Amino acid sequence: MNEEQRKSQSQIKQVESTKVEKPLSEKTTADFAKYFQTTYQPPDIRKARKRYREKIEVHYDFEIPDDMKEIGEGKKFLIQTYGCQMNEHDTEVMAGILTEMGYQATTVTEEADIVLLNTCAIRENAENKVFGELGHLKPLKMEKPDLIIGVCGCMSQQESVVNKIMQKHQHVDLIFGTHNIHRLPHLIKEAFYSKAKVVEVWSKEGDIIENLPKVRHGKIKAWVNIMYGCDKFCTYCIVPMTRGKERSRRPEDIIQEVRRLAAEGYQEVTLLGQNVNAYGKDFEDIDYTFANLMDDMHKIDIPRVRFTTSHPRDFDDHLIEVLAQGGNLLDHIHLPVQSGSSEVLRRMNRKYTREEYLELVRKIKQAIPNVTLTTDIIVGFPNETEEQFEETMTLVEEVGFESAYTFIYSPREGTPAAARKDDVSMDEKKRRLYRLNELVNHQAADSMQEYQGKVVKVLVEGESKKDPDVLAGYTEKNKVVNFRGPKSVIGQIVDVKITDAKTWSLNGEMVENQVEVN
Ligand code: 5AD
Ligand code: SF4
C-alpha cells in the first residue's frame, strides 16, 4: 500500500517498535510505516501487563525539519486542555512545537487556524465535554474549511473514541495519541497538504524525547515531568493503557531542567508523574529512586518543590526521611487513598490495606509533624457496600485530610472493573458522594480556621480573578490567599497575615518582618 492509499483509508496506525536508526528530525511517516498494523486493538490489560522488559531509549536530537519551520507563518493555534497536570504540560510542549513552526497562540477560537483538543479519558464526563466541544466546532469548520481540528491526549488512545470521532465528527482532521506528540510537525504537515484525515495513534509508548520545545504557562511556577506512564494497573483506571509503561527520565536531565528554571527565576516546580514514587524503578544501570531525586531537588536553589501524584504502595521510609528535611520540599503531600475499605482496595488492586495506609500516614506525621495531607477518593466502586463506604468516611476523619478530589466511579472500557456487575445504583453513588463531600468540606473549613491571625508565606501569582485590585497566591500548603498589595510583588514570596478564613480560600494583609508560622 502506498502512502496516499494508506492515508485515504484513514486507518489507525499502531507501532510494533519505535527503534528507528535515523535521528528523529529526519524521519518521515514512511519510516514508521513498517511498524504500523492496519487494525486497531482496544485497550487490553493482559497485553499491557507484558510490556515490562522492553528497553526505552532517550533521544536528545529532536528538531523541527526545515521545510516545516514556516508552515505556521501568519497563522494561529489554540489548544484546549482537559484533565490532569500531565496534559497541561503536554499542551506546553505542543505549544512549543507549534511556535517553532511559526504559529502564534490565540485564545479566540474563531481566529485559530489549528484547534487541538488535548483530552482526558479518566472518567466519562471528561469525554462528554470533548464531544460537546467537537459539536461546537462544527459550524466554524464549515465556515473555515482550512481550519485544522485535532484531537489528542488520552481519549485518542481508545478505539471506541476514535471510531466515534471518525463516524460522527467528520470535521475532525487529525487524531494523534499521547505517544505521538513529537510527531506533531509531520502530522500537521500531512493534515495541511492532504484532504484526508490523519490518524496516528501508537498503542505502544515510544522512547523518551528530551529536548522538545515548550512554551510554559507563566514565569513563576513550572511543571517538570520526571516519568511517564503507569504500571500499577488499578482495576478502575485507564491510564496504564493510555499512557503506557513506566519510563523515568534520567536524573541528570531533570536536575538540569530544574536548575535552568531556577536560574530563569521560577519560584516553584511541580515534579509530575502518574506515580512518582515508582520513579527510577526502571533504571537498569543506576540505583536511583524518587527519594534520591527529592534529595537532589533539596540541594537546588529554588524556593518550592512539589510533586504529584504519589502511590502509597511505593512511598518508602527513605522518601519520608528526605521530605522531613523540609526547606524547599514542602510539607504538603497528596496521597490518593481511593477507599477506606481493605476489601474495596483489594478489588481495586491498590496493593495496600486500610491499616497499611494508616500506618504510612502515622509515619509521615511523625516525621513531618506539620504535614498537610490531601487525597483522591472514588465512591461507588462496583458493589461497594454501605459499610465499606462508611470505612472511607472514618478513614477521612482519622487521617484528617484537608481536602480531597472525590469522584463517582466511572466504568472505563478495557479495565477489569468495567467488566464487573455493579449492584450500587447511581442515586446511591450520588448520595455517598454528597455525604463524603460534606465531610471533606467540614474538614477543609476547620483546617482553614487554624490560619486566623497567622502569618503565611504566599507565592504571589497575579491579580485575583474576581478583583484586579486584589492579589492572589498560594501558601506552601497550597491554600489560596487573597490580599491587597503592590503589583510589584507578583512572582515573589511574601508574608501575609490571615484576617479571614473561608472553606477554600484565605483573605489577608501583606506584612513585613513578621515571624513565619506556616
Ligand atoms: N472512575 C472514577 N474516578 C477515577 N479515577 C481514576 N479512574 C477513575 C474512574 N474510572 C480517579 C482516581 C485517581 C484520579 C486521578 O482519578 O481517584 O486518583
Ligand atoms: Fe491509575 Fe494512578 Fe492507579 Fe496508575 S496508580 S493505575 S494512574 S489510579
Gap from CA of 380 to ligand 1 centroid (Å): 12
Q: Kindly give the confidence (pLDDT) of every residue in the chain, 518 residues in length, as a single tens digit, with 9 standing for 90 and above.
A: 344 444 333 333 333 333 334 454 454 444 444 333 333 445 566 666 666 556 788 999 899 999 899 999 999 999 999 999 999 999 999 999 999 999 999 999 999 999 999 999 999 999 999 999 999 999 999 999 999 999 999 999 988 899 999 999 999 999 999 999 999 999 999 988 887 789 988 877 778 999 999 999 999 999 999 999 999 999 999 999 899 899 999 999 999 999 999 999 999 999 999 999 999 999 999 999 999 999 999 999 999 999 999 999 999 999 999 999 999 999 999 999 999 999 999 999 999 999 999 999 999 999 999 999 999 999 999 999 999 999 999 999 999 999 999 999 999 998 999 999 999 999 999 999 999 999 999 999 999 999 999 999 999 999 998 888 999 999 999 999 999 999 999 999 999 999 999 999 999 999 975 444 44
Which residues define the annotated binding site? 84, 120, 154, 230, 234, 237
CA 279 from centre of chain: 16
> In angstroms, rounded to a whole number, what is the distance separating the alpha carbons of residues 512 and 496?
8
Judged by DSSP in three states, 223 sits in strand
Numbered residues of the known binding site for [4Fe-4S] cluster = 84, 120, 154, 230, 234, 237
| Assigned C-alpha cell, 48 | 499491557
Instruction: From residue 454, give the alpha-carbon distance in Å to each of 476, 498, 510, 514, 517.
Output: 14, 6, 12, 10, 7
Looking at ligand 2, which residue's alpha carbon is closest to its atom 2?
274
Structural domains of the chain ordered from first start:
13-208 (3.40.50.12160), 215-449 (3.80.30.20), 455-510 (2.40.50.140)
> How far apart (Å, rounded) are the C-alpha atoms in residues 340 and 356?
11
Report which ligand 2 atom has the smallest distance to the Cα of 238: 1
Q: Is 377 in the pocket of ligand 2 (CB under 6 A)?
A: no
C-alpha cell at 422: 455493579
Determine contact, residues 203/226, Cβ cutoff 8 Å: no
- CA-CA-CA-CA torsion sign (156, 158, 163, 164): negative
| β-pair partners for 248 | 227
Residue 448 has which C-alpha cell? Answer: 482553614
The 3-class secondary structure across 107-123, one letter per residue, is CCHHHCCEEEEEECCCC
**What is the value of pTM for the model shown?**
0.89
Determine the Cα–Cα distance for residues 252 and 319; give it in Å rounded to an integer.
19
* Cell digits of residue 392: 472511607
Helical packing angle, 251-263 and 290-298, nearest 10°: 30
Alpha carbons 158 and 142: distance in angstroms, whole number: 27
- Nearest ligand to the CA of 125 is 1
CA–centroid distance, 86 to ligand 2, in Å, is 13
Number of other CB atoms surrounding residue 14 within 10 Å: 18
CA of 114 to the centre of ligand 2 (A): 32
